[in-house]
Amino acid sequence: MTERVIEPQELQVNLEVCKSDFLNNWQALEMGFSAYHELPQSFEDFMLAHVAEKVAEEIEKNIWQGDTGGSAPVNHFDGFEKLIDAVTPGGEITAATVTASNVVDELGKIVDAIPSAVYSKTDLKVYVSSNIARAYQRALGGFAAVGTATDALTPGAGFEGQMYVGRKPMNFDGVNLVMCPGLADNTAVATPSSNLFFGTGLLNDHNEVRVIDMAQYDGSQNVRIIMRMTAGVQFGNSSDIVLYN
């Protein structure tokens, strides 16, 4: 056993927008008709939600593709792909360009490479990139005709008829698949969820965004949106990981 340490990195969001830019849109009435425009609560809520969504997208990319030696926007902290690639995982598979025609074979390689001791764990998951998830969903809907060995029920009905029952948790050979938009294309990681860790300094680091109306400080029409946080990732046992990249 070797010790692994999470080292959360400091992150910051500092945006500034001008209230006058919104005078001619649907928010105009809420801002009032005087020369001194109040920041409407509905717009403040919108800004908070919008900024939080964009930050979450960037954090997701950094969680998987982060490389402090790389370029923005994925250089805030080292992500799982770089961390796992730097060690010897339990299994490592050279990725192909995944399509609907080969995705079943490629996922089979990943599942086959999972160590027996890990395969029995209840929280085992295969984290896949968006293009792999899309290809697999397409493959589930394109199986052969009625009565064939591939699909003995109805054409287009994949495992448990996923094509027709709508959104449900995807799985392959009984192993749950999780689509991770932050993963690079044609990349997957198989490991128990309990083997992956996200670290931050305080719980409210990811729950707090400040909106500051600058009118009371400098008389301007500007509004500042501030977010400060710390974030970092780490895995536990490299032998419990299968990397496909």
Examine the pLDDT at 176 and tell me if it is beyond 60. yes
Mean pLDDT of the chain: 83
How confident is residue 148, by pLDDT bands cut at 50, 70 and 90?
very low
93 domain-assigned: yes
2 domain-assigned: no
* Number of domains the chain is built from: 1
Out of 144-148, 185-189, 211-215, pick the least confident: 144-148
State residue 163 phi and psi, 5-degree precision.
-65, -35
Quick one: pLDDT at residue 151? 47
Higher pLDDT residue, 73 or 176? Answer: 176
Residue-wise pLDDT tens digits, 227-245: 888 899 999 999 999 999 9
Q: Is 12 exposed, middle or buried (0-12, 13-18, 19+ CB in 10 A)?
A: exposed
Range of the domain at 31: 9-244
Structure tokens at 123: 């929280």
Quick one: pLDDT at residue 26? 47
Residue-wise pLDDT tens digits, 70-81: 998 899 999 999
Question: Is the four-CA dihedral 134, 136, 126, 131 of positive or negative sign?
Answer: negative
For residue 23, which amino acid is it? L
Write the CB contacts of 128 (distance below 8 Å, at least 6 apart in sequence).
107, 136, 177, 178, 179, 180, 183, 187, 188
145 domain-assigned: yes
Distances (CA, A) of 188 to 44, 72, 103: 38, 22, 12
Question: Mean pLDDT highest for which of 7-16, 25-34, 170-179?
Answer: 170-179
37 domain-assigned: yes
142 domain-assigned: yes
Three-class SS of residue 245?
Answer: coil
8 A C-beta contact, residue 66 and residue 82: yes
Out of 81-85, 119-123, 210-214, pick the least confident: 210-214
How are beta strands 124-128 and 175-179 bridged, if at all? parallel
- pLDDT, mean of residues 93-122: 96
Question: Mean pLDDT highest for which of 46-50, 157-161, 168-172, 235-239?
Answer: 235-239
Query: Can you spell out the DSSP letters for 92-128?
Result: EE------TTTHHHHHHHHHHHS-HHHHT-TTEEEEE
State pTM to two decimals: 0.79
How are beta strands 171-172 and 175-179 bridged, if at all? antiparallel
Structure tokens at 18: 């001008």
Examine the pLDDT at 150 and tell me if it is beyond 90. no
Quick one: pLDDT at residue 228? 86
Write the CB contacts of 116 (distance below 8 Å, at least 6 apart in sequence).
none
Distance CA 133, CA 129 (A): 6
1 domain-assigned: no
Examine the pLDDT at 36 and tell me if it is beyond 70. no
How confident is residue 101, by pLDDT bands cut at 50, 70 and 90?
very high
Distances (CA, A) of 218 to 21, 78, 163, 209: 18, 39, 58, 21
Quick one: pLDDT at residue 10? 87
209 domain-assigned: yes
4 domain-assigned: no
